[in-house]
Structure 1
Amino acid sequence: MSEPGEDDAPGQQPDGAQLLRLTDYGGIGMARILTDLRDYWQSLRRGRAVPARADVEPHGISRALDYAFVLERIAPGAARFRLAGRHLIDLMGMEVRGMPICTMLNPSSRGRFSDVLETVFRAPQIAEFRLRAQADYARPELVGRMLVLPLRSDLGDVTRALGCLISEGDPGAAPRRFDIVGEDLQPLFDGGGIMAPSATLSRPPATAGFAEEPGRFDFRHATRAPRKPVPQPRDIPQTPAERRAMFRLIDGKDET
């Protein structure tokens, strides 16, 4: 078989046969999207542990743009969408910008997701989730993947994240919510440690003041406060002599 000549048109064989590429005809696989986004995030680091949110540009993730999102941490274990691609909007049937990311999950999976998400910001580290949406009326079963990569805000703290959520199959009737069927935590550097998810990490810290838990009252050591005397009006006699002086003896002579 001869090699293609330099004058041959791109994508066409010397004998005139058309060369087809599967990536040009059909959907892009989940693995490709995840790899593209991870590689782009790695390119932004430039020797740093965590890249900055300001470095993220849409043209850098053109292939993954419909599936990508940017998160803002708003509380321990909680984050909301600052930006979200078209695929996430189609899954929910509405604009998701400003919504908590946990709305993409069923309630039974939200606690676990919050625990893992907090480690992305606090460690920081990388989290990848395996997702499944069960079949229902007008809703076929979906399998999906979610990748969350930490970012630094303009203040320098790790309170932003770049990620993507991609599912395979017809979304069906919106909204579609997923269950977590597994997760994979990865360190930022090879050989680094992993922070294990814990409910204590995603629990808001106790604050002083009115948020304090009320103390317990022990009735065994309670004492009765002394009773204060009831104030008396000035015109009421106080002593026995004063009270006797208020009475007047009446006999028949006084009657008219």
Structure 2
Amino acid sequence: MFFGGRNGSKQGTEQDKVVSMGRFRNRVSLTPLRQAEAYWTALRRGDDVPSRSQVDPRGLENILSQTFIVERIAPGIVRFRLAGQKVNEMAGMEVRGMPLSAFFTPEARKQLSAAMESMFETPAIVEMGLQTETTRTRGAREAHMLLLPLRSDLGDISRALGVFVSEGNPTGVSQRFAISSIDMRSVSADPIQDMEFKAKARTEVTDRPEKAPAKADTNVVNPGFAETQTRFKAEPSIMEEARNLLKRRKAEADKVSTETAQEEEPEQPRAARGTHLRLVVSKD
């Protein structure tokens, strides 16, 4: 008598007992990306891009360690201005002042540069799917990055709010990522109209904020995340500097001649000069 058939016996292959652990793997949560995009959208005025100074850390308190601010310094090149703790942990160091391309492999940097130019020029929202490099000690890890364009205090679109989520960095060494997917969404309904950018008039800054003029079409400045910037003063031209130098030298020469004349001995009276011969001509 046989108990159990062939399928229920132990005569099957060992592969039937292997359970794939891929479905139990912790996937990267995209909630921080959606939260940051919702906050960024709430700051907008119509189709306008929000200002960098409007971003308040209290609005991103739950994901502050995963957020960062980048600045455009050249076409296709951006650098970190601020970065959260988890972003620094992924790099294994302080990333402030470093280019964003340091996070990416050499093959992915061209794609990153093109995406950065499209974000600032269109402008557009950029969302990228990333993967770490596979090594002998660890497999590829998944990550996502979201970049949201911002205006600087001067009115141009040269800043971006970023959010970075990943599966972590258990090794503590620097991680470099390859780009697996790029999703770009235009900010304005009419990208051509938005490309014709005109800087807004800056509001006057007063000692008392309640006396500052309020404009409906101008984004309100929030000092929570604002950068301290000063405007450049008008520099004199080379011709003006030359004229000023000649004037100063002439004034110094006149001053020296005046002092020299005052130091000379005073003229003696005629009585002390002595006698002199005088020639008198008479026709009588």
- TM category (shorter chain) comes to 0.5 to 0.7
Counterparts of 1:38 and 1:28 in 2: how far apart (Å)? Answer: 20
Change in Cα spacing, 1:36 to 1:28, as seen in structure 2 (3 Å) is: farther
CA contact (8 A) 2:88 2:94 kept: yes
Q: Within 5 Å, which residues of 2 pair with 1:74-93?
A: 74-93=73-92
CA contact (8 A) 1:139 1:171 kept: no
Q: CA deviation at 1:146?
A: 0.6
1:119 aligns to what?
A: 118
1:181 aligns to what?
A: 180
Q: CA deviation at 1:89?
A: 0.6
1:9 aligns to what?
A: none
Q: Give the letter aligned to residue 171 of structure 2.
A: G
**Percent identity between the two aligned chains:** 41
Change in Cα spacing, 1:149 to 1:100, as seen in structure 2 (3 Å) is: same
Q: CA deviation at 1:46?
A: 2.8
How many residues in Structure 1 have an aligned counterpart in Structure 2? 168
1:154 is aligned to 2:153: yes
Q: CA deviation at 1:88?
A: 1.2
1:101 aligns to what?
A: 100
Counterparts of 2:170 and 2:143 in 1: how far apart (Å)? Answer: 11
Q: Give the letter aligned to residue 31 of structure 1.
A: L
Please list every run of at least 4 consecutive aligned residues from structure 1 whose deviation after the TM superposition is greater than 3 angstroms. Answer: 137-140, 189-193
Counterparts of 1:35 and 1:119 in 2: how far apart (Å)? Answer: 21
What TM-score, normalized by structure 1, do the two folds share?
0.61
What TM-score, normalized by structure 2, do the two folds share?
0.55
Q: CA deviation at 1:188?
A: 1.1
Give the match's secondary structure for 1:99: coil
2:49 aligns to what?
A: 50
Change in Cα spacing, 1:145 to 1:166, as seen in structure 2 (3 Å) is: same
RMSD in angstroms over aligned alpha carbons?
2.1
Deviation string, structure 1 residues 144-198 (Cα, Å, up to 9, x no partner): 11101100000000000001111124442410010001100101145768xxxxx
1:64 aligns to what?
A: 63
Give the match's secondary structure for 2:62: coil
Change in Cα spacing, 1:99 to 1:111, as seen in structure 2 (3 Å) is: same
Change in Cα spacing, 1:92 to 1:169, as seen in structure 2 (3 Å) is: closer
Counterparts of 1:175 and 1:141 in 2: how far apart (Å)? Answer: 14
Q: CA deviation at 1:29?
A: 5.1
Give the match's secondary structure for 1:64: helix
Is the helix fraction higher in 1 or 2? 2
Q: Give the letter aligned to residue 134 of structure 1.
A: E
Deviation string, structure 1 residues 3-47 (Cα, Å, up to 9, x no partner): xxxxxxxxxxxxxxxxxxxxxxxx995321111000010111132
Q: CA deviation at 1:74?
A: 0.1
Q: Which gives a bigger RCO, structure 1 or 2 (Cα 8 Å, sep 6+)? A: 2
Residue ranges of structure 1 left out of the alignment (5+ in a row) = 1-26, 194-256
